[in-house]
A and B are shown apart, each in its own frame.
Chain A
Amino acid sequence: MGNAVGSIKKVALNGFTFNVMGDSNFDHKKGKFETEPVVHSGGNTMSKKLRAQNVESVGLQCGASEAEVLKELSESLTNFDMSYTNAANDIFRAVGSIDFEGHDTEKGLATIKMIPESADGWVPFLA
């Protein structure tokens, strides 16, 4: 199976669709657990700590009006629908919220972190 890999195509937050920077590389921590070795004289015991399945370092093309939308969403006390479309046109959905990390006005780049509310994290949107 020759799946395409590459840039993320679109991000939708509460239905607002955002363009994604071409060089944006989503850092998606897919596993439910963060594994760390606890070293002892008999070897290593694996410590499995639960973590959120965030999608981090999401670079969105962002003008002033988009920045206002992101600001409002990041301040919302209610979780909302989120989705992203990858290079292979697969869509992943979750309900959650975002952390608006920054807005580089020179490049028109907004950086956000998408945080799902469910422990299951992101699920594929099946047509």
Chain B
Amino acid sequence: MSDENKLSKESAQKELEKFYDYYEIETEDFEKVDGDDDESRANKAIQRMQLKILKGLMKGKISFKEDDGGFIIVLHKKAGDTLEFKELDGFAKAEMSKKKSSDEYGRIFALTGKMCGLGEHAVKKLKGPELSLVEAIGTTLLMG
């Protein structure tokens, strides 16, 4: 991973907005975090994911690009290569349906594994911050 993808906080926030705009995710919907009800807990979790993605953009661990194939999320791995997550589609969601609804991680790995083209095992093989970043993206897409 090189420094060339690093962004200032302002630039990273603009990039993150592009992601939300593309997927029509209304961040205002997740603002209610007071209280201990299910909605507030879910919103807190989503806000943590947002922060994780923002930090990933600032540190240059991920970047976004748009081309003929749609909106692409690029994970810049520590190993030096990249993993590209293509636009979310119905096939990715269908891969997720092969997992039990209680298998939350399995469903996210299946979804993001389809999006990156290399399958869930490739996502499972990721470690530490790279894995949690992909989980944050998968969760945001599912809940957004």
- Chain A binding surface, main DSSP class: strand
* A71 surroundings in chain B (CB, below 8 A): none
The residue that B125 contacts in the complex, of A11, A80, A81, A125, with Cβ under 8 A, is: A125
- Chain B binding surface, main DSSP class: helix
Complex interface bits, B29-57 against A, C-beta within 8 A gives 1, otherwise 0: 00000000000000000000000000000
Q: How many residues of B contact A (CB 8 A)?
A: 22
Smallest beta-carbon distance B90→chain A, Å: 12
How far is it, in angstroms, between the C-alpha of A11 and the C-alpha of B122 when the chains are bound?
11
Tell whether A125 pairs with B118 under 8 Å between CB atoms, given A15-B91, A16-B91.
yes
A17 touches B125 (CB 8 A): no
* B59 surroundings in chain A (CB, below 8 A): none
Smallest beta-carbon distance B74→chain A, Å: 14
Q: Which of A40-94 contact B (CB under 8 A)?
A: 80-81, 83, 85, 89, 91, 93
A15 touches B125 (CB 8 A): no
Smallest beta-carbon distance B76→chain A, Å: 13
* B126 surroundings in chain A (CB, below 8 A): 127
Q: Does B127 contact A (CB under 8 A)?
A: yes
The residue that B117 contacts in the complex, of A10, A15, A89, A126, with Cβ under 8 A, is: A15
* 8 further interface pairs, Cβ-Cβ under 8 Å (given A14-B117, A15-B113, A81-B116): A11-B119, A12-B113, A12-B118, A83-B121, A91-B118, A125-B125, A126-B81, A127-B125
Instruction: Please list the residues of chain B having a beta carbon within 8 angstroms of any beta carbon in chain A.
Output: 77, 79-81, 91-92, 95, 110, 113-122, 125-127, 130
| 6 examples of A-B residue contacts, CB within 8 angstroms | A10-B119, A17-B113, A80-B117, A81-B116, A81-B118, A83-B122
